[in-house]
Amino acid sequence: MVSSILVVDDDAAFRRLLRAVFASRGWRLYEARRISEARAELAARQIDLVIVDGLLPDGNGLDLLAEIAQSESKTRRIFVSAFRGFHDKLTHRRLVDDLRVSLVLRKPLIATELVAQIESLLQSDGGRGETGARNNQPEWAGESALATELEDLRLAYVQKLRDQLGALRKEVREAAASKERRKAAASNVRFLAHKLHGTSGTCGYPEVSANLGRIESLMAESEVEPELRTERFYETIEAVLAEAEEKLAAPTLRDGQVESGDQDRRLANGTALIVHADPQLLGQIARIGEKHLFAVRAFADEAQALAGTRNQQIDAALISTSLPDGGNPYRLAASIRSRIGCNRMGVAFIADTDDLRTRLLAVEAEADLFLVQSSDPEQYAQVIDRLMIKSRQARPKALIVEDDADFAGFLSQELTGSGIDSVHLNEPTEIFATLERERPDIVISDIIMPGISGFDLCRIVRSQLEWSEIPIVLITAGTDSTFRKAAYDAGADDYVLKPIVKEELLGRIRARLERARVCGEHRRHDSLTGLALRSTFQPVILARMADAVRRRSEIAFALLDVDHFKRVNDAYGHFCGDRVLATLGKLLKMRLRTEDAACRWGGEEIVIAYGDTPAEAAKRSLDRILDEFRSFPFQSEEGETFRASFSAGIAAFPAEGKGLSAVLEVADRRLYHAKRAGRSRILVSSSEIEENG
């Protein structure tokens, strides 16, 4: 028997959406716009499930649900509403306990999740009603057809939504202008905002929905305190509405799509997930993402976040510890991290207040960072940048120094399962050769080994400048204070007792790796551009130059300088100048290969070394980066848009200079002529200098 579902909602667009979804499942849909129509449908036929909106033209949806409950009907009930007033604990208890409602949902809804919830309800109903007439189809066939139909409905709905926003604006202006009709018009504004809040989000316009939800909340507050309805109050409503219209006018990227003309998406160096109930905060972080070159996926609750990020790689997540509708932030983080490609996602939890219990829950959920909600949006940008860096790091490597092959095998297996590669060394005398060959990020050593103790090994490693700061964890069966003092005196960072508790060992190793990574980033990289510091770059590049001479290969050196940088600082402020440099640094890190090296040489100058690359090939690479950089729009604090560019000179090693200073002198000469020739260009040969005069 096919399931019969009655939808009681006065929004035609919402009913049309459910019509498409339910048809794909073979369910029979009946529709009612008012309570009176719903009563007639319930009297005329057997209904398996009724979905009731909270606010209806002729009454409250709760009243209809009360009638169904009193009739002792076996009809399952789902209550939906975009209005927050229906989602307090008291109302929720009444819906579940007194009115026997199976599901209480907040609009906007995720259509596919609603289907799954309904299927679960119908299947648990003792077999009454079939869950669909599509058993002869493969699952993906129905999903694909449904996705296509939902997208068609979303696109068809946009014009109607524009018209309805216009109607809402008219009601707002009438409420503001006419004191006689103010109460009735205000009621109309709230009702229309409520309806559009739910439907626009369900139909694929969550940002517009967030603004409409804010209007609905403001109008609800003004019903309790009518004195709020001043001229300034309605100006605020109009401003929020105008922002909603702007969001609707902007191109909307669906899941998995990238619009080629969208500069911010094209330059994005990762995707950040933000889950928070405050739409204002979501909007702030989205705008911050545009400035800092990361894409933002923003959602108000756990269900939306799970559905909206399906099949997407998420590099960083900021999740509120206070999610609405009983959402669990720690479960959400674990769910997304369990997906393919997201296991290295960095996670930070945002708390309303700072208390030990919340911090402990965050730590247990393997949070990378914990912060109390801030009024400074830039703080969130710094957090996301740090999480992005972590997610892009290569898998760390541990060197296990252990003469017991079985124990080393066990340890290696546990590390591999936690995303840490490992190398086993059973002969401690080979420590330096192994360190040089494998370049590990941490050393894990037993204390008792033939020939040399773990204490001595620790001292030997610490005596070498290159390895003096590598984390070292010692493993032993000793528990007294004498051992602990000896371990720390030898230079160990930590120790783990045998028998090994797996969780403790992995936790200590991860903590040491993360601390070493963060400290190394600060020591080796420029905090503004993220590029290597000159002091870090020079020894590395000198070694590569020596290797290039041995292999008879070449390195192309580019020296580049931001054009008119002083003018940018003078006209737009040093903060904007910093953003120009930071953006260029991020762009270079994103576009250069792993075998290339770049550093902030000084001021606004940057040096790039293209490994095993002819100068002409390096120019082609840098030309593409220049095109991308000068197309990126920057914005001053006053809202003025401007663009930036750079000039560069390229020289080849060893053909045009036998040492670093000599080859950079050639590149610097070409940079000078690129500036004289009009800037925003790259010169790679002396003939180009002659041509440009």
Model pLDDT for residues 567-624, shown as the tens digit of each residue: 999 999 888 899 899 999 988 987 888 778 999 998 889 999 998 889 999 999 999 9
68-72, 343-347, 554-558: least confidently modelled range:
343-347
Closest of 427, 369, 365 to residue 402, by C-alpha: 427
Q: Return contacts of 519-525, CB within 8 angstroms, 24+ apart.
A: 519/469, 521/389
What's residue 122's pLDDT? 73
Residue range 296-319: average pLDDT?
A: 86
pLDDT at 214 over 60: yes
pLDDT at 265: 35
Contact 18, 62 (CB under 8 A): no
Segment 118-144, tens digit of pLDDT: 876 776 554 444 444 444 333 333 444
In angstroms, how far apart are the furthest CA atoms of the chain?
96
- Over the chain, what is the mean pLDDT? 81
* Matching residue, tokens 């090693």: 653
> Position 301: which residue type?
D
Residue type, 65: L
The residue with greater pLDDT, 69 or 391, is 69
The pLDDT-based confidence of 88 (bands split at 50, 70, 90) is: low
The whole-number pLDDT of residue 352 equals 87
What's the pLDDT score for residue 691?
53
Average pLDDT over residues 672-676: 93
Spatial separation of the C-alpha atoms in residues 107 and 647, rounded to whole Å: 52
Closest alpha carbon to 130 in 302, 258, 1: 1
Give residue 424's pLDDT: 93
CA angle 447, 448, 450 (to 5 degrees): 130
Distance from C-alpha of 654 to C-alpha of 414, rounded to nearest angstrom: 47
pLDDT of residue 136: 39
**CA separation (Å) from 369 to 316, 392, 514?**
11, 16, 11
Is residue 110 classed as helix, strand or coil in its secondary structure?
A: coil
Tokens 């600060």 locate to 522
Please compute the mean of the pLDDT values over residues 76-90 and round it to a whole number.
72
The confidence score (pLDDT) of residue 256 equals: 33
Q: Which residues contact 677 (CB under 8 A, 6 or more apart)?
A: 683, 692, 693
- The confidence band for 231, taking pLDDT boundaries of 50, 70 and 90, is confident
What number of residues does the chain have? 693
Which tens digits make up the pLDDT trace of 8-44? 998 887 888 888 778 777 888 999 999 999 999 999 9
Q: Which residues pair with 397 in a beta bridge?
A: 421
CB pairs under 8 A, 24+ apart, for 215-224?
215/168, 215/189, 215/240, 215/241, 216/82, 216/83, 216/190, 217/84, 219/186, 219/189, 219/190, 219/193, 220/83, 220/84, 220/85, 220/190, 222/186, 223/186, 223/187, 223/190
Contact 643, 537 (CB under 8 A): no
CB 244 within 8 A of CB 165: yes
DSSP 494-535: EEEESSP-HHHHHHHHHHHHHHHHHHHHHHHB-TTT-SEEHH
Which residue would you say has higher pLDDT here, 24 or 285? Answer: 285
Residue 64's alpha-carbon distances to 79, 82, 156, 198, 630, in angstroms, are: 11, 18, 31, 20, 60
Q: Quick one: pLDDT band at residue 193, thresholds 50, 70, 90?
A: confident
> What's the CA gap between 513 and 516, in Å, rounded?
5
Q: How far is CA 292 from the centre of its chain?
A: 13
